[in-house]
Structure 1
Amino acid sequence: MWWRIGRQWLAILALALITLPAALSMPVARAAVPPPRDDPFYAAPADLASHPNGAVLGSRTITLLGLPIPVAAWQLRYRTTDSEEHPQLNVTTVLVPPVPWTGPRPVLSYQIPENSLDSRCAPSSTLRGGSATDMASTMQDAPFIADALRRGWAVVVSDYEGPQSRLFDGVTSGRGVLDGIRAARSFPPVGIDASSPIGTWGYSSGAFATLWATQLRREYAPDVRIVGTSAGGVPTDIPTMAQRADGAVGGLLILLGLARNEPDSQLADLLNDQGRRALLATDTSACSADLAQKYPDIHIEDFAAVPDLLAQPAFRNAATPNELGGTAPDTPLYLYHSVSDEKIPVAGYTALVDTYCAQGATLTAIHSPFPTHIGAAAGEAFGGMKFLADRFAGTPPAPGCVVQ
């Protein structure tokens, strides 16, 4: 009987995903979802600092993507701590499928890439169908989230960049992931607890947050036991990434994000008038689609008051604290990266793998033949999902470092 119910649910889910683009184009549905800055649910309580990290400070049920998908869905407000040691209110979206499970249900913490400096494009907003300008990441990740739900796993999707959308802030992102898992685990209606095995997954900027979480787990959240991590298209060597993205929106996102996140670096002082105006507007008009429309031909030099801004010590000082590799994760890892990635050069990925291996990580690393950044995201997803399924089943990973 449960098998028949599962098939019916999968048919409904598949139909909903097929009709997703049309549903998201409906202006009436979007108008019902206010941006986070206008939604009281995102407002931090006055006593935020008095609560422990991961504490649930409010909840609400939602309709996933504004569609009639038979998935139990909640959003939880929770306390976390940012990289400057300030208490912060984050929001996570928790999804549970109507698929029976015997024993503790596995939990997948799924980090959607948030290529944005504006909370309108945070996952909690886009998963409700609330942003018309930057749905690309959610659309690309919907099939992978659906596959996890099909398998019966609970899925936790946290706004790991926080209320300021701190792109490439490693500590803030990692802590946001770990405390989002804590929040979901302590919310009784979800039906998961400390005995539920936890896996993490992310691609691109989602991989950045995922791996920072694994690096920080032992020190910051030893109670969060992660049995396996899959991550691909891993952002490494941030200055080289910015150079590669010069002439596209990605370069400007990195520049403005680091200038805003790392004020002590004095990177903001190297911006010209246009750069300072763009920096001031990041909170309200800095989803990647916004910037691409506003600056159709983007070059970092157009925003700089000095020549060769990316080679300046201030830029390096802002980027270096947020590079991956400082601590080897104690979680089994499955990493993958296209050898022809046009956005994130594979050399940085190879160097990170070598660093993790030298530090004693348990790691399978794939140098993928699938072409381009997006190609590897789709082509290597099966391997990443299988790795997590094996960990949830209790199958031990291959020991040591396996590099392909």
Structure 2
Amino acid sequence: MRRDDALIGVRTRETAGRSRGFRLWRRIGLLGAATLLAAAVAVPGTRADIPYPDDDPFYAAPISLGEFANGAILNSRPIAVLGLPLPLAGWQLQYRTTDSADEAAADVATVLEPLTPWNGPGDRPLLSYQIAEDSLGTRCAPSFALRGGRDFSIATTLLDVPFLAEALRRGWAVVVSDYEGPKSRFFDGVNSGRAVLDGVRAAKSFAPLSITDSSPLGAWGYSGGAFATLWAMQLRASYAPELAFAGVTSGGVPTDIPAIARGVDGSYQAGLAVLILIALARNDAGSGLADILNDSGHALMAQEATSCGGDLVVHHFFRHVDDFSTVPDLLGSAAFRAAANHQELGGWAPDVPLYLYHSNNDDVIPSAGFSALVDRYCALGATLTAVHSAIPGHNPAAVGEALGAMNFLSDRFAGNPVAAGCTVR
């Protein structure tokens, strides 16, 4: 096992400068902290000392990977979060998981903890936070950005900085897993869900993090992060039954994948339809989706093999996925629908308290799919609160509904009970 033994049992203590930084953080609040962090990180050019994951030996899987249990820590290192002198302790953990093909895989998670003691009830909570990675390559993984990587690929991680900042301000420890894994499998529910759960297992067992067996667990994700979060909760009972989550929040939930792709196809966000097409084609060879692509489609898959969602949006303004198909109406084809159906949420009901929210006028993910998923979960006996938000737009709803999501988690971490059944508003 490769491990930095000096880390075990040792916590990084705050310096006088970091103490001043924490007081500043508390003073300027969530939005101010987010603005400062985003401004500091959004610096042009890459840092030579922060290589992309594919070029970083830390990410390389050990030859003996299959001998480890799911969630076992394979390697660890301390980091300066976002490459800045922030009042936080941060580490990265390489851990064993099992992908959707039931093969052993080595994923990486970033764990963050405030330097101040926890002053809430019980032990410090641990929040599993899923960033919307939305990528086809590992350079878009959250761990690269959270270690201080500088590249356009960090854009999706920066969008989540305000919410991470607020979770840490509340005193929670946070684990952020690269849940798409070393093969960057976007929209692979089993792969993502297992990686989330094993990231929590790894964080719980990491000695320098002040998490105990009594620490309450929570999970949160928005958009692509919600997909991974809810797949993890659907798999929890069978894959990681020892992980008892006090509460889970998710918003902008990707449901009815063909409707999502059709809604953005040919628009200024057409790159998202291209992302979905490439991901499903390479994730599910048995669907036959790759077989109905034309020469331009096969060239597309090769050219964009390591692209981030943001790259694809820039590259494919107003494109139609039918440009890459040998059949008309690719999004309505049996092959596309077969590949998408394998990844749809709602096959099982999570057995943890849920708080779900979605804009009634979401411009990326149609709200009808969200309503159908809520109905499905309720019919299967889930305990959930569902918020049909009047805030228009995918990204505005992420901001406007965040406080409700945070407060739901705070109540669960405090041990406040939630009524069984469904509350829909």
* Match status 1:118 vs 2:137: yes
Distance 1:298 1:127 in 2: 32
Per the alignment, do residues 55 and 13 of structure 1 end up closer, same or farther by CA in structure 2, a change over 3 Å counting? farther
Tell me the residue number matched to 1:370.
Answer: 391
Tell me the residue number matched to 1:87.
Answer: 104
Distance 2:311 2:402 in 1: 29
Over aligned residue pairs, what C-alpha RMSD do you find? 1.8
Distance 2:423 2:181 in 1: 34
Distance 2:231 2:130 in 1: 11
Deviations 1:341-388 (A, max 9, x none): 111111110010001001111010000000111111011000000000
Q: CA deviation at 1:16?
A: 5.8
Deviations 1:124-171 (A, max 9, x none): 112123251233322221111111101110001000111111111000
8 Å CA contact 2:33, 2:162 repeated in 1: no
Tell me the residue number matched to 1:335.
Answer: 356
Tell me the residue number matched to 2:271.
Answer: 249
Tell me the residue number matched to 1:18.
Answer: 35
Q: CA deviation at 1:334?
A: 0.3
8 Å CA contact 1:35, 1:125 repeated in 2: yes
Tell me the residue number matched to 2:125.
Answer: 106
Tell me the residue number matched to 2:191.
Answer: 172
Q: What is the aligned length?
A: 401
Amino acid at match of 2:102: E
Distance 1:35 1:377 in 2: 28
* Match status 1:271 vs 2:257: no
* Match status 1:151 vs 2:167: no
* Match status 1:397 vs 2:418: yes
Tell me the residue number matched to 2:78.
Answer: 61
Tell me the residue number matched to 2:378.
Answer: 357
- TM-score, with structure 2 as normaliser: 0.90
**Equivalences for 1:134-145 in 2 at 5 Å?**
134-145=153-164
Stretch deviating more after TM superposition (271-280 or 368-377): 271-280
* Match status 1:73 vs 2:90: yes
Per the alignment, do residues 223 and 109 of structure 1 end up closer, same or farther by CA in structure 2, a change over 3 Å counting? same
Distance 1:114 1:362 in 2: 28
Tell me the residue number matched to 2:258.
Answer: 239
Q: Which runs of 5+ in 1 are unaligned?
A: none
Per the alignment, do residues 13 and 30 of structure 1 end up closer, same or farther by CA in structure 2, a change over 3 Å counting? farther
Q: 3-state DSSP class of the match of 1:258?
A: helix
8 Å CA contact 1:174, 1:216 repeated in 2: yes
Stretch deviating more after TM superposition (194-203 or 16-25): 16-25
Stretch deviating more after TM superposition (272-281 or 302-311): 272-281
**Equivalences for 1:172-321 in 2 at 5 Å?**
172-247=191-266, 248-284=270-306, 286-321=307-342
Distance 2:20 2:205 in 1: 31
Amino acid at match of 1:173: S
Distance 1:133 1:380 in 2: 27
The percentage of aligned residue pairs carrying the same residue is 59
Distance 1:379 1:148 in 2: 16
* Match status 1:160 vs 2:179: yes
Q: 3-state DSSP class of the match of 1:275?
A: helix
Q: CA deviation at 1:11?
A: 4.4
8 Å CA contact 1:16, 1:69 repeated in 2: no
Tell me the residue number matched to 1:347.
Answer: 368
8 Å CA contact 2:59, 2:107 repeated in 1: yes
Misfit runs of 4+, over 4 Å: 3-6, 11-16
8 Å CA contact 2:21, 2:86 repeated in 1: no
Q: Which runs of 5+ in 2 are unaligned?
A: 1-18
Distance 2:394 2:143 in 1: 24
8 Å CA contact 2:33, 2:165 repeated in 1: no
Distance 2:182 2:223 in 1: 20
Distance 1:127 1:293 in 2: 23
Q: 3-state DSSP class of the match of 2:342?
A: helix
Stretch deviating more after TM superposition (185-194 or 99-108): 99-108
Stretch deviating more after TM superposition (342-351 or 16-25): 16-25
